[in-house]
Structure 1
């Protein structure tokens, strides 16, 4: 028996949310209605939001109250993220609410199907100033509808695969937290300096700083990969996805290449992200772009210690308070970075810390390789499930 296809708009009611006027405090102050933004969507189920609106704000805007169980789907800027509401909530206009009205489709099945076609939907939304898809495009998506028993089999399989991915991510997150715990145990809280280390400034432990190159990079041509602000993660690692390339002559290479053991600092970004810091640990040098600062430590410090300090809770809070907003972006320049006060433990203790971090990173790398395989398997299962390659109704009936 062939699988039936239905338009998403035939099996679900779909509408987008809205944003009450920010200038009217009556719409926001002491609000108790959860209001979902794209940044709130972080997993399969959504249970909390950063912001809330009032009943008055809901009634005097295009915002709508979506019931628990509604599927949320992002349609503007960041396209194709989805989650199932575990609470009643409203959303902004970048998110559509999908309420299944057909008894022939299960919510979780539709969730996984929409996850499986994310790349296709994203490509549909490209080519405009801000990536987006309208509700008409969403409503016209063809959804395969096998029998409920088959849908349940697909849900159970993908749940198990997704759970393995989540557990691996949790292990990596635990190692990241261990890094901070080791820093605090060895050096003490930077705010209190309980071990009474000598206090100086980052300038006192710096040999030199250098801004990155402003040369235009290419998608695939150039001698050197170039690191940009998006390649530094918030928690202090380098992400080598989405690399571009650049050519540098000898004099430029001397200034604009980062080498193993150097520190990279993101001097310009949004206020929340400015100050992202990571140690460059690769054997081969790479170029780095103008929104980054390269810091080379002197004999009093190593980059792992400085990175641990700036990535600590204290460091993040300090950098956030220092960031100056300039035309929609925030900035901390190299001189301001060097004026930051920092305790300076003995170099041999810093080196011991760096050695421990190296061991943690080896374990993290193994977990990341495992995570990549688990995610590949999960994505493969999703694609095969909705192509009908995993379960057929004939197979299910014979079980």
Structure 2
């Protein structure tokens, strides 16, 4: 058994500051760009040390906040801090074998951390993590099996992405874009189609909290509710009506990194959950359906508008409840909104089938990882 520090050299990225950002030059790779929660919104047009350059096929490891290992498949870029670039200069190794095993190592490292959310994995701890290094022939055999399962998982995820794109395309086909309003619908603001907009709780999560705690990370960029990694919280009973969610609530992420502000989804569960303060709970009136409002805010044209609205301070951007309610919107007839919701529900049935297949494949991969790496 080896240690990760024996396998390769790990080069940490550079701490690019906001004043280094540009609209031209090389993309700056941040953790969000690796996890799929954002796209290369910032670039760097100055000089940099060659060690910070990232090219096609380089292996990258995020070691802060979101632990993960990735193979870069984008254009030439420069590496931001909190990410290692892996240089295989210490031993003979199959790159894909390394990627699969480190993925499992990081998952175990994350699950072994209790209490507060893991902030980062220090370099000494990272270097000391055990690594199984069999002969190179066995490495390639193991990697080939895991590659096949991973490819199937990637295809299922691509199918889900295409269905999400289909829903967005159908929305624009039915309602047009805004502010162009090609269909000449009634015009108003979000304030005109909602009955209330309230912030969630500002209380911190607790280890043994009584209630599930919905946070900004539980809303995906594509507008889905993701309850993986759910936290818990204790809230006095008298405060619950102000900060709990119910089926049909629209959830708007008001504070995040700039490109993620405005992530919106519909709460489609019956379980009572407490909402965190960085999310606004929106309840619609008779002029709009929750799914229509959420889909409107998740369109490409709305995301561009939200980017322009954000106010940034100390690395975080924000759109407050009043600003959110002032956003312009077209208001088509509710019957037409219902047609869109029916279409989306049919697509969701297909997504459910794909998700079941995806879950089985992910379970199989976990079993294989356990068999190969322990």
- The TM-score, its normalising length taken from structure 2, stands at 0.85
Closer, same or farther in 2 for the Cα pair 1:261/1:384, shift >3 Å?
same
- The number of residues matched between the two structures is 369
Structure-1 separation of matches of 2:314 and 2:128: 40
Structure-2 separation of matches of 1:24 and 1:265: 30
Judge which range, 148-157 or 284-293, deviates more: 284-293
Structure-1 separation of matches of 2:254 and 2:9: 45
Among 257, 276, 279, the residue aligned to 1:289? 276
Structure 2 counterpart SS, 1:96: strand
Structure 1 counterpart SS, 2:223: coil
For the pair shown, the structure with the greater C-alpha radius of gyration is 1
Question: Shift of the alpha carbon at 1:181?
Answer: 1.1
Q: Which runs of 5 or more residues in structure 2 are unaligned?
A: none
- Say whether 1:154 aligns with 2:138: no
Structure 1 counterpart SS, 2:185: coil
Structure-1 separation of matches of 2:232 and 2:117: 22
- Say whether 1:174 aligns with 2:196: no
Aligned to 1:58: 49
Question: Shift of the alpha carbon at 1:240?
Answer: 1.5
Structure 2 counterpart SS, 1:314: helix
- Say whether 1:185 aligns with 2:178: no
Closer, same or farther in 2 for the Cα pair 1:229/1:75, shift >3 Å?
closer
Among 110, 118, 121, the residue aligned to 1:132? 121
Among 193, 204, 219, the residue aligned to 2:192? 204
Structure-1 separation of matches of 2:169 and 2:288: 20
Q: Is the 8 A contact 1:17 1:94 kept in 2?
A: yes
Aligned to 2:8: 12
- The TM-score, its normalising length taken from structure 1, stands at 0.80
- Say whether 1:71 aligns with 2:67: no
Structure-1 separation of matches of 2:331 and 2:18: 45
- Cα RMSD of the aligned pairs, angstroms, is 3.3
Closer, same or farther in 2 for the Cα pair 1:361/1:220, shift >3 Å?
farther
Aligned to 2:212: 225
Judge which range, 92-101 or 228-237, deviates more: 92-101
Structure-2 separation of matches of 1:52 and 1:199: 40
Q: Which runs of 5 or more residues in structure 1 are unaligned?
A: 388-399
Structure 2 counterpart SS, 1:97: strand
Judge which range, 181-190 or 87-96, deviates more: 87-96
Q: Is the 8 A contact 2:55 2:72 kept in 1?
A: no
Q: Is the 8 A contact 1:71 1:85 kept in 2?
A: no
